[in-house]
Amino acid sequence: MNNFNNDVLEFRNLYKELKEKYDKEKYIYFLGLYEDLVLNFWVNDIKSLDENTKLFLEIFLGLTKERDIDEIKLTIIKLKKIKKFLLKKGLYNTKTYKRLKILKKLIRKFDMEEFSNEIKLMELETDFLVEPTIENFKKLINFAQEYIDELCYRGNKEKIVSIIRDVYSVLKTKEYDSYIAVLIEKTVKKCEIDIKAIVDIIKEVLEKYGSNDKEELPLYFLTVLINVYKKYYKKDEYILNYDEEFRKKTETIDNNFSIEDISETDSSIWNPIEIAKKLKKELPKYIYGQDHVIEKIVDNFKNNLLNNIGPRATFLFLGPPATGKTYMAEVLSKLIDGYKFKMFNMEQFTHEDGGITLYGSDFKYSKARPGYLTDFVLKNPESIIVFDEIEKAHPVVQNTLLSIFNNGKMVDKCGWVKIDGKYVPFDGKKADEDDDYPKYPEIQEVDFSKTILIFTSNVGKALYNSEFFWELVKNDYDRAEDMIIEALQKEKSFTPPFLSRLLSGELLLFKKLDFMSLVKVVKNSFESYKQKIYENYNIEFKDIDELIYYFIVLSYAPRIDVRRLKSKAGSSFFDLISDYVVENYVDLSEKKEVKIEISKKVKDYYEKNIVPIIENDDIVKYMFRRNLTLRIEKDIELKNNTFIYKIVNIYFEKVKRVNDFGENGIILDIPQVSFDNIAGHVNAKKRLKEIVRLLKNPKIVQEKGIEIPKGMLLYGPPGTGKTMLAKALANEAGLPFIATTGTDLLNIETIDKIFDTAREYAPSIVFIDEFDAIGNRGKNDGREIVINKLLSKINGFSDSNDVFIIAATNYPEKIDPALLRSGRIDLLVEIKSLDKEARKFFIKKIIESFKTQGDFDLDMLVVYTTGMNGSDLEKVKREVGLLMIRKGYEFLTQELLIEVINTLKYGEKIEVNIEKTLKSTAIHEAGHAVVSKILRPEIAIEQITIVPRKKALGFVAFNDEDGYKKLTKQDIKKQIQILLAGRYSQIKKFNEEGIDTGASDDLEKASFLAFKAITEYGMDEEIKNINIKNLPSYYESTIEKRILEWLKEAEENVKKVIDEHWDIIEKLADYLIEKEYIDGKEFLKFFEKGKK
């Protein structure tokens, strides 16, 4: 006890002396005395241990700048020894722990960064010397590389050489020479140090592996050293004592090594080269159709010989859903020895407080617990962590992950204590109540440096649906990567700092699986399922034809979900067998076999209908865009313990599609209408067929250096078949067709949905009806946002011909000019009113739809339908059917059809029994007809009727569609006379009683025609050749006078015509009273007979 007291007294005296003046020898003695007291006496007196440790650290840290490196290194070794001793005894309490860790904090306070790195390197070297484990080796080699990188940036080459020498002196055994070689190679290339400064290390390493030593350094690493030596120190000394054969072998090796060139190395150390070799060999067995992804992953591991700060590797997996992103992560965890797998669905972290689940709740709160992420990594340092759909995580949650990238660590807010060798969540409540329980967590900072982080995301959907983009992935990956990075930045699904860290890792693009890759998925799944069937039911499949896998894949079209295909392919095929077993009470105690038979009918269908598509197209996309699936008709029987599984028939079937967008959905389909189904429109169809040719053969345009058109505008009167023509274009081009309207597009979200879907089914056509509803910009009604959005979508097609827009409108003048500029919707095609051929087509369809009686004069009916559009004629068909049902008619007659046409054009019949009204109407219409035939015989009369209707008591229908004719002044004056002929015929017949309201429409038209001739056409003798439409109002009185003059002249002239032909007018009126209605041909006969 006296010795102890003396030692304590001496310790205290030395403390006072060292505080007054530092002395190296006294300090070393003081250090030894402190160690001896701790290990022999203070170990049983925690209070004394805490107090005296505080005194010791005060001396050690108080004069840090006066200390040399050797003293510090010795101190660290002693403190580590003391720490381990106390831990082993279970006496390493919180105060002592915190005091021994105070070293780092005070060094930072002194702003001695380089000194801090020097100390950390010594700590790691000491750790390795005391406990030479793989983990301590990795920490040392990784930190050495980080420290060298920092010194390289600062240009301190002398210090770099010192570190290489220092690390090599610690790692002198052969098993670590590979890593020394890589460290030297990287340092020489990156920092441009003089190779002479470390040539002795290179020589020393090389001399270990002479020709007499059978344990040769792996060829790859040996060659690295030799090449560095040759390049930077050009003498023949590198030959040293190698035998001639081995020297030649190393000389022929190029710096760009393939994985196959690399020999085996110690598998107990993290060896990315060996992992790369294994992944290259094994990944294709599990992952299909993603060769470019496998290649990038292998390259990443091959080049990741020494990881820097942060996780061991970071990957960003991008691509459409169900392309194998998560599955790839699972496979990696199986193939990389010792690695565990953990996935976090980031849909669960949409709230800003969601990060607590990852990194724990503060230990100060009750029921605090560590985070699921930090807890898993603490217990499984070597693990693959998947953050699935990371874009859905709240920005705050994303930013909490930054520390992992920055320093390879994450702080858990709860933390752990180690009890009986196990990590246990820190219990704050127990810490307050139990004096023996630690007052603070022993561990809060979790090391992620050994983890492999994988982030998956579907961001960039517009690009994934573009064939052009995937062509770039195949032919110009760097450009494709630039495009996806730009898309990630634009979509703003990630915070800028988080996105920056993600992009510092490896970005990998997963594409949708092609047909043969899907076949491999099915085959693999089927083989696995087949084995289970054999093991569980004693049923064995024999010799499965490859076509079976083809048929199974196509039976899941048009939307093939890989996960569903993988899980259901085997079971769905086996259902027929299991149903048969259950229904027929089959005894499975004896072994059964399954023989699959494919009928000749099936094989013929396959050769004729499926093989050509597989050879010339992507059949998966072909069926997807056409909504097709493959139906398989099967049958089964049991013969002699063998199930005969028969594929009887297969055929393509169109699947009924649910609206893509819910209640306001837009149906997407390839229309069944062709140009052959549309009559008339000869010129328009010719133009549209030219567009079809370009869409089907884009290379025709591209070879001439011309951009493929992005869109076209169909304009013309309502009901002229613009939609039908657009559908026919889609059908002829074989492209999916999405129909929407300008009104729908006033919703910004709808624009995104429509064009995203169009991209998904691309190449495709978007048809926008009532395009003018989008409006014009500059009216402060919100249309500018919509139009700018639409323009961005149109301009987004600049690199491809994926989506073609067809817009239709009745009012082209209302469309914003920016939409119709060159390079946008710049092909304009006029769709005129239905011509005779088109109307005849509709009339034939109407007649063919009913049982008929009597003859039908198609030419005459075509004349009656002048001015009617497609919608009108469809309505005629509907009204005919309804009328026949109402009246109980069995047959359709020409008279009935004409009646319906007239009803739709001129209104329903009105029952009028007043004889005088009929006579007045008859003389009125007879006057129009006769005067028209006299003055303008070139205009054909379609029909004359005195049947009262809602729109008129009678009418003369004219047919003037034989071509556009410029009206002369005399034509207009004659037309005015024809309009006035009805009124003046009534006056001649009935005197003053002949003036009634029936002529109001005629008078309005006559006045307007005179007004137009005078004010716009420059046809008046007095006002002459000017258009005064926009001139000042003082012309109004002159115009009024001139209109009256024109009407007066017309009145005088028409009276003369009426007087000269009064006899035939009266006879025609009587004939109309008798017949009520006559057609154009009958009138012509009557007129010619009357003239004679």
DSSP, residue by residue, 201-226 = HHHHHHHTT-TT-SSPPPHHHHHHHH
Report the pLDDT value the prediction gives residue 376, as an integer from 0 to 100: 94
Last residue within a domain, chosen from 594, 626, 654: 654
Instruction: Tell me what percent of the residues of the chain surpass a pLDDT of 70.
Output: 78
Q: What is the mean pLDDT of the chain?
A: 79
Tally of domains in the chain? 6
Is 880 part of a structural domain of the chain? yes
Most confident of 62-66, 144-148, 240-244, 903-907: 144-148
Q: Which residues are catalytic?
A: 925
Are both 521 and 628 inside the same structural domain? yes
Are both 828 and 842 inside the same structural domain? no
Is 965 part of a structural domain of the chain? yes
Are both 933 and 819 inside the same structural domain? no
Are both 900 and 947 inside the same structural domain? no
Report the pLDDT value the prediction gives residue 206, as an integer from 0 to 100: 64
Q: How far is CA 489 from CA 204, 399, 457, 689, 832, in A?
A: 51, 16, 14, 41, 47
Band the pLDDT of 658: cuts 50, 70, 90: very low
H/E element holding 540? strand 539-542
Are both 717 and 778 inside the same structural domain? yes
* Range 548-576 average pLDDT: 85
The CATH number of the domain where 861 resides is what? 1.10.8.60
Report the pLDDT value the prediction gives residue 561, as an integer from 0 to 100: 80
The 409-419 sheet, strands edge to edge: 422-425, 409-419, 443-447
Given the DSSP bridges, would you call strands 764-769 and 803-809 parallel, antiparallel or unpaired? Answer: parallel
Contact 553, 560 (CB under 8 A): yes
Report the pLDDT value the prediction gives residue 318, as an integer from 0 to 100: 92
Q: What is the sign, positive or negative, of the torsion defined by CA atoms of 132, 135, 141, 146?
A: negative
Q: Read off the pLDDT of residues 581-613 as tens digits, 9 standing for 90 and up.
A: 888 888 888 888 899 999 999 999 999 999 988
Report the pLDDT value the prediction gives residue 80, as an integer from 0 to 100: 62
Higher pLDDT, residue 1023 or 644:
644
Q: Read off the pLDDT of residues 864-875 as tens digits, 9 standing for 90 and up.
A: 787 788 778 888
Q: Read off the pLDDT of residues 144-156 as tens digits, 9 standing for 90 and up.
A: 888 887 787 677 7
Q: pTM score > 0.85 for this model?
A: no
CA dihedral 775, 779, 780, 785 (to 10 degrees): 30
Band the pLDDT of 243: cuts 50, 70, 90: very low
Is 471 part of a structural domain of the chain? yes
User: Would you state the structure tokens that stand for residue 250, as one six-digit string?
Assistant: 């190393």
> Crossing angle for the helix pair 619-626 and 515-537, nearest 10 degrees?
90
Report the pLDDT value the prediction gives residue 108, as an integer from 0 to 100: 46
Is 786 part of a structural domain of the chain? yes
Are both 648 and 778 inside the same structural domain? no
Q: What is the maximal distance between C-alpha atoms in the chain?
A: 161
Contact 335, 306 (CB under 8 A): no
Q: Which one, of 161, 167, 196, lies nearest residue 179 by Cα?
A: 167
Would you tell me how many other CB atoms lie within 10 Å of the CB of residue 216? 15
Of 99-113, 379-393, 404-418, which range is least confident? 99-113
Most confident of 110-124, 490-504, 557-571, 909-923: 490-504
Report the pLDDT value the prediction gives residue 606, as an integer from 0 to 100: 92
Report the pLDDT value the prediction gives residue 266, as an integer from 0 to 100: 37
Is 336 part of a structural domain of the chain? yes
Q: What is the sign, positive or negative, of the torsion defined by CA atoms of 236, 240, 241, 243?
A: negative
Q: Report residue 516 CA to chain centroid gap.
A: 23
Residue with tokens 């949650």: 397
Q: Read off the pLDDT of residues 305-344 as tens digits, 9 standing for 90 and up.
A: 545 568 989 999 998 887 888 889 999 988 998 899 999 9
Separation CA 183–CA 181 (nearest Å): 5
Last residue within a domain, chosen from 832, 854, 886: 832
Report the pLDDT value the prediction gives residue 537, as an integer from 0 to 100: 83
Report the pLDDT value the prediction gives residue 797, as an integer from 0 to 100: 56
Report the pLDDT value the prediction gives residue 371, as an integer from 0 to 100: 92
Is 257 part of a structural domain of the chain? no
Higher pLDDT, residue 982 or 470:
982
Are both 276 and 409 inside the same structural domain? yes
Is 203 part of a structural domain of the chain? no
The CATH number of the domain where 364 resides is what? 3.40.50.300
The CATH number of the domain where 1051 resides is what? 1.20.58.760
Quick check: helix, strand or coil at residue 58?
Answer: helix
Last residue within a domain, chosen from 881, 906, 931: 906
Helices and strands (H and E) in the chain: how many = 46, 21
Band the pLDDT of 662: cuts 50, 70, 90: very low
Q: Which residues pair with residue 803 across a beta bridge?
A: 764
Phi, psi values for residue 453, rounded to 5°: -100, 135
Of 91-95, 713-717, 828-832, which range is least confident? 91-95
Report the pLDDT value the prediction gives residue 110, as an integer from 0 to 100: 41
Q: Read off the pLDDT of residues 631-643 as tens digits, 9 standing for 90 and up.
A: 999 999 999 889 9
Is 372 part of a structural domain of the chain? yes
Are both 321 and 444 inside the same structural domain? yes
Would you tell me how many other CB atoms lie within 10 Å of the CB of residue 362? 11
Are both 799 and 825 inside the same structural domain? yes
Report the pLDDT value the prediction gives residue 605, as an integer from 0 to 100: 93
Are both 407 and 282 inside the same structural domain? yes
Report the pLDDT value the prediction gives residue 904, as an integer from 0 to 100: 81
Are both 896 and 995 inside the same structural domain? no
Phi, psi values for residue 1072, rounded to 5°: -70, -35
Separation CA 414–CA 1040 (nearest Å): 96
* Range 711-727 average pLDDT: 86
Domain residues for the domain of 71 are 1-108
For 245-357, list the strands marked E by DSSP: 313-318, 340-345
Band the pLDDT of 242: cuts 50, 70, 90: very low
Are both 301 and 433 inside the same structural domain? yes
Report the pLDDT value the prediction gives residue 581, as an integer from 0 to 100: 86
On the question of pLDDT at 661 being above 60, the answer is no
Separation CA 790–CA 806 (nearest Å): 13
Contact 259, 300 (CB under 8 A): no
The count of C-alpha atoms lying within 13 angstroms of the C-alpha of 785, restricted to the half-sphere facing its C-beta, is: 7
Most confident of 610-614, 626-630, 953-957, 972-976: 972-976
- The DSSP-derived string for 818-851 is GGGSTTSEEEEEE-PSP-HHHHHHHHHHHHHTS-
Q: Read off the pLDDT of residues 975-1026 as tens digits, 9 standing for 90 and up.
A: 999 999 988 888 888 888 888 887 888 898 899 999 988 888 888 888 777 6
Please classify residue 455 by burial: count the beta carbons closer than 10 Å to its beta carbon, then call 0-12 exposed, 13-18 middle and 19+ buried. Answer: buried
Q: Read off the pLDDT of residues 106-125 as tens digits, 9 standing for 90 and up.
A: 444 443 445 567 767 777 77
Report the pLDDT value the prediction gives residue 684, as an integer from 0 to 100: 85
